[in-house]
């Protein structure tokens, strides 16, 4: 892995949570509020953060199991969906420097590929006033499959009219990097996000970036 090289890209595809936005506290609040509704004890925010990235069901499945298990999964998911929808912009913000990065790349095609449900993704992007910067937005329920399946990326490539050799996927997790590799696009891992640096390093992205502003120099 070479940290100094740059990647030529006509299309930049972004993960959302942990890459563009810091949404940890709102997610943790909604998870623990959900656990309270089903009479389960809360779990630590750090543990919840480690569950983020694969979609709502895996998140709640792991949280319920960590707080005692039982047969309340479907009920818990319904609670979470309502609670999170009402609170997903309470404290969620763009990472410091990300708005500058997005504006820097306004001349390129950009898209978002998230395992978060599409309704949440669009509401957050609109609430943070960046939705118009993306030519395509995909959520975890936009297609039959979710990351690391490459279909989401392949659909975006088709919509953009760009080949995989001219696209890069930027994300903070091994799931993101594997998704990019499965789709044949370049990959950039960002270590400022939710996942441990060791996880990113093991996933072997083409580039590993420590801060949002470094992205401006990583893609040309």
* Three-class SS state of 60: helix
Mean pLDDT of 89-115: 97
pLDDT in tens, 183-205: 999 999 999 999 999 999 999 99
Residue 4's pLDDT band, with cuts at 50, 70 and 90, is low
pLDDT at residue 121 in the model:
98
What is the reported pTM? 0.94
Residue pLDDT, tens place only, 25-69:
999 999 999 999 999 999 999 999 989 988 899 999 999 999 988
C-alpha to C-alpha distance for 204 and 103, rounded to whole angstroms: 28
pLDDT for the residue 69: 82
Alpha-carbon Rg for the chain in angstroms: 17
- Other C-beta atoms closer than 10 Å to the C-beta of 220 total 10
Residue 156 DSSP class? H
Q: What is the pLDDT of residue 2?
A: 44
Task: Answer yes or no: is pLDDT of 99 > 90.
Answer: yes
Question: How much helix, strand and coil, in percent to the nearest 5, is found in the chain?
Answer: 45, 15, 40
Instruction: List, by residue number, the catalytic residues.
Output: 15
Q: What's the pLDDT score for residue 41?
A: 95
Q: Would you say residue 5 has pLDDT above 90?
A: no
To which residue do tokens 């995989």 refer? 164
Residue 220: band (very low, low, confident or very high) from pLDDT cuts 50, 70, 90? very high
Q: Which domains does the chain have, with CATH numbers?
A: 11-22+93-218 (3.40.50.1000), 24-87 (1.10.150.240)
Query: For residues 61 and 4, which has the higher predicted lDDT (pLDDT)?
Result: 61
Look over the chain and give the mean of its residue pLDDT values, rounded to a whole number.
95
Query: Does the pLDDT at position 1 exceed 70?
Result: no
Cα angle 123, 20, 144; round to 5:
60
């Amino acid at each position: 892995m070479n940290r100094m090289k740059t990647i030529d890209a006509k299309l930049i595809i972004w993960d959302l949570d942990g890459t563009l936005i810091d949404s940890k506290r709102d997610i943790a609040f909604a998870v623990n509020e959900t656990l309270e509704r089903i009479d389960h004890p809360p779990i630590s925010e750090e543990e919840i953060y480690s569950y983020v990235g694969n979609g709502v069901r895996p998140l709640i499945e792991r949280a319920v199991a960590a707080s005692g298990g039982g047969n309340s999964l479907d009920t818990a998911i319904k609670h979470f969906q309502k609670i999170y929808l009402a609170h997903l912009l309470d404290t969620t913000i763009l990472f410091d420097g990300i708005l500058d990065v997005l504006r820097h790349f306004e001349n390129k095609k950009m898209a978002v590929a998230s395992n978060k449900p599409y309704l949440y993704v669009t509401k957050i992007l609109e609430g943070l006033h960046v939705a118009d910067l993306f030519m395509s937005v995909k959520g975890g329920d936009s297609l039959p499959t979710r990351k690391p399946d490459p279909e989401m990326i392949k659909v975006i490539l088709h919509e953009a009219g760009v080949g995989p050799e001219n696209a890069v996927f930027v994300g903070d997790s091994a799931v993101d990097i594997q998704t990019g590799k499965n789709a044949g696009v370049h990959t950039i891992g960002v270590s400022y996000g939710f996942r441990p640096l060791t996880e990113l390093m093991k996933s072997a992205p083409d580039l590993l970036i420590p801060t949002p502003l470094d992205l401006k120099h990583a893609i040309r």
